[in-house]
Amino acid sequence: MEKKTIIFATQNKNKAREIQGLLPPYFEVKTLADINCDDDIPEEEDTLMGNALQKARHVAKKYKMNCFADDTGLEIDHLNGSPGVKSARYAGPEKDDEKNIQKVLKQLRDSANRAARFRTVIALILDGKEFTFQGKVEGDIAREKRGEQGFGYDPIFVPEKGEKTFAQMDKNEKNQCSHRSRAIQKLAAFLSQQ
């Protein structure tokens, strides 16, 4: 079967490698770096789906290639769903993970309601048609940082029925239950039908 190239609208080669392992072998995942794209792709929408679609449309239109993009947010019940679509820039435009975590912990302080969820939305543009896939994991916000793995809010997010934060899990353990892997599995299942 002829290989199909699909662009993942990210500069993160690790993320791309992780996804490549889950997709059918006749899809070859390339990053923005692989196609010499260093555009500052806008993320101006007020929903995760809007941002994912905006990024995918930008790449598909400019490079005339099949592509997909993702956006992820942490939604905390006590904060009325914040930080949500603003997760990466919650404490400021510099996207500082540590500052974001400290802001969340400070806002929750002694709150008994620590329920939260991570959501990932993937927007795929394949042969000119748009498709979206969503993955979600429920959990709670820990009272302090725990663990060294992962990135973002991983040190304070404990997935449903668990004891460990995402940052205390190895990659395989996290992939068993993460929001991103759930969304990617839906994408992979769809692409394997193509």
- DSSP conformation class of 67: E
Model confidence at 66: pLDDT above 90: yes
Give the pLDDT confidence score for residue 133 in this predicted structure. Answer: 98
**For residue 14, is pLDDT > 80?**
no
Between 87 and 18, residue with greater pLDDT = 87
Is residue 71 among the annotated active site residues?
yes
Q: Residue 187: pLDDT above 90?
A: yes
Q: What share of the chain is helix, strand, coil (3-state, %, to 5)?
A: 35, 25, 35
Which CATH number is 4-192's, of 1.10.10.10, 3.90.950.10, 3.30.1330.30, 3.40.1190.20?
Answer: 3.90.950.10
Residue corresponding to tokens 């947010």:
73
The pLDDT > 70 percentage for the chain reads: 99
What pLDDT sits at residue 168? 97
Strands 129-141 and 27-31 turn out to be unpaired
What is the predicted pLDDT for the residue at 89? Answer: 92
**How many angstroms separate the CA atoms of 17 and 35, rounded?**
16
Q: Which of 39, 40, 71, 97 is catalytic?
A: 71
User: What does the CA dihedral 119, 173, 170, 105 come to, rounded to 10 degrees?
Assistant: 40
pLDDT per residue as tens digits for the range 109-152: 989 999 999 999 999 999 999 999 999 999 999 999 999 998 89
CA atoms 28, 34, 35, 38: torsion sign: positive
The CA angle 7-9-13, to the nearest 5 degrees, is: 85
| Band of pLDDT at residue 160, cut at 50, 70 and 90 | very high
CB 68 within 8 A of CB 8: yes
**Residues paired with residue 121 on neighbouring β-strands, in sequence order:** 71, 134
* Residue 167: pLDDT over 90: yes
Instruction: Please report, for the chain, the start and end positions of each structural domain, with discontinuous segments joined by +.
Output: 4-192
Residue 154's nearest CA partner among 82, 60, 81, 72 is 72
Q: Tell me, what's the pLDDT at 17?
A: 82
Torsion (CA) 12, 22, 123, 89 in degrees, nearest 10 = -40
Query: Which H or E run contains 52?
Result: helix 48-63
